[in-house]
Amino acid sequence: LTTPPQYVQVYRSEYLVTISTDKTEYNPNENVLITTNITPPYFPTAICEVQIEDTQGNLVTKVGTIDLSTAIPGQANTYTFTWNSGSTYAGEYLATAILYQGGVEIDKVSTGFTILPLPVEQGMESILTTDKISYGSNENVEITSKVKSLAKNFIYENLKVIVEVINPEGGILSTNERITTLIPEATNTAKVYWNTGTNTPGDYTIKQKVIYQDQVIKQNIATFSIISSVEAKSALFGYIKVEPQSLLMGQSTNFSYQVANIGNVDLQNLTLKVIIVDPETKQAMEGYTYPETGLTLLKGESHLNSFSATINLLPKYYLVILQGEIEDTIIPIASTYLFVKLPATVRIEPESFDQNTGTFTAFVKFPVGFDISTITDATCDGASAYNLIYDSGENQMLLKFRRNEVTVLPIDTHFVVTGHFGEGLTFEGSDDIMKIIYEVAKR
């Protein structure tokens, strides 16, 4: 039994090796000229690897291999390589030459150089836009704030982006700030919203500042205007009510409305109008415009009004529009509807109900000028007419109903008959009988 030899073989290079670069600093995508001089002591069998390393000795990339078998002993042999910095991250690097003999490293030399980022003012693009060039009162301004890194080899950390809205007098109305990090060639986009509210009309400025390491490296300006709320037709807000909304031709109804000045200017000599409009022709019905004139409505103030009117319009649906007028400008405010029905004269027989089975009859007479032959259906307190008999000569109808189909509960002596013409008109009439002897239906 023998013991293995206890020794370590140490290689000592007798080569003279130097390495250098043509400069000490390089921009992105710039060629680095690397020169290696090697003087071998004898006919060599070594090889030399030329590579780029970081300052910790980690391999970045291999540049080339030198076969020293053809090198002249005792004489400096010069080898050159070109390596492009490309988009390699900015920082400190080493150009390194390593000699290997039989696969074992026997020598290593390095020289340092720096890859620079783009100058910070060239390495960043800043864009600032708005979705429109002018706005009315109480309208959102959509601001698009964008910063883009043009650097291929540098990370911008803790980049501060500030967006300010500035009024015509130079006062800052709003400030939005964000912190971001941009990797190479990345873009950071943010939407910033600012509401014009009741700020006065005029030209406004948006300023964007991009700050890196406490220095403003980019600055952008965008402008927009706030126009008068009268011009923008956004000065007034309100509602209008009609009670009742459904009525018979010739009946009266109540109109009430409230209007507020939510704009950015005081309103003088304001006219408010309630207009009844035919929705089919879009025309205002003659005699159905109700103006209120000579009003003053300061910013933030409200105004209330109400009135009654008799409606003698033909049976159909109508639009009821509330609008404001200042000089030649019309400002829409609110709208609702009005439903006019044709009045009919109704007589119910028998005048006393004595059981919850059987039938009852409604005799319905209509105003002259309406074609009753187009009537398609009729109901009385929820019961549908099962028989419709037309008397065109008298312009009336006889309608038959089943007593046990009445659904309006509790049963009383008042009955309402409604129905429809083919052209969309609705009629309505009512009558009272003398008494209920026996309830038609119970809950």
List pLDDT tens digits, range 222-247.
999 999 999 888 899 999 999 999 99
Residue 49 has pLDDT above 80, yes or no: yes
The chain-wide mean pLDDT, for the chain, equals 90
At 99 the three-state DSSP class reads strand
Sorted by where each starts, the structural domains of the chain and their CATH numbers stand as 16-115 (2.60.40.1930), 124-226 (2.60.40.10), 236-341 (2.60.40.10), 344-436 (2.60.40.10)
pLDDT value of position 66: 94
pLDDT value of position 437: 64
Report the alpha-carbon distance of residue 386 to residue 274 in Å, rounded.
43
**Residue 238 host element (H or E):** strand 236-243
The tokens of 220 are what? 């952008």
Report the alpha-carbon distance of residue 375 to residue 355 in Å, rounded.
30
Beta strand residue intervals within 68-186, DSSP E: 77-84, 91-101, 104-115, 124-130, 134-135, 140-149, 156-166, 172-182
- The identity of residue 235, as a single letter, is A
* Residues ≥6 apart with Cβ < 8 Å to 82: 31, 32, 33, 34
- The identity of residue 410, as a single letter, is P
Of 137, 202, 208, nearest to 176 (Cα)?
Answer: 208
396: left (phi over 0), alpha (psi -120 to 50) or beta: beta
Report the alpha-carbon distance of residue 234 to residue 429 in Å, rounded.
44
- Percent share of the chain, pLDDT over 70: 95
Report the alpha-carbon distance of residue 143 to residue 131 in Å, rounded.
7
DSSP 150: -
DSSP 69: G
pTM for this model (two decimals): 0.65
Residue 11 has pLDDT above 50, yes or no: no
pLDDT band at 3 (very low <50, low <70, confident <90, very high): very low
pLDDT value of position 354: 59
pLDDT band at 355 (very low <50, low <70, confident <90, very high): low
Length, in residues, of the chain: 443
Distances (CA, A) of 260 to 49, 302, 330: 83, 4, 15
Residue 426 has pLDDT above 60, yes or no: yes
Instruction: Calculate ∠ Cα 42-46-49, nearest 5°.
Output: 135
Q: How many CB atoms lie within 10 A of CB 120?
A: 16
pLDDT value of position 9: 32
Residue 428 contacts residue 418 (beta carbons within 8 Å)? yes
Residue 400 has pLDDT above 80, yes or no: yes
List pLDDT tens digits, range 160-207.
999 999 999 999 999 999 999 999 999 999 999 999 999 999 999 999
The tokens of 46 are what? 């070594």
Residue 338 contacts residue 252 (beta carbons within 8 Å)? no
CB crowding 67-79: b at 16 or more within 10 Å, else e = ebeebeeeeebeb
Report the alpha-carbon distance of residue 342 to residue 367 in Å, rounded.
8
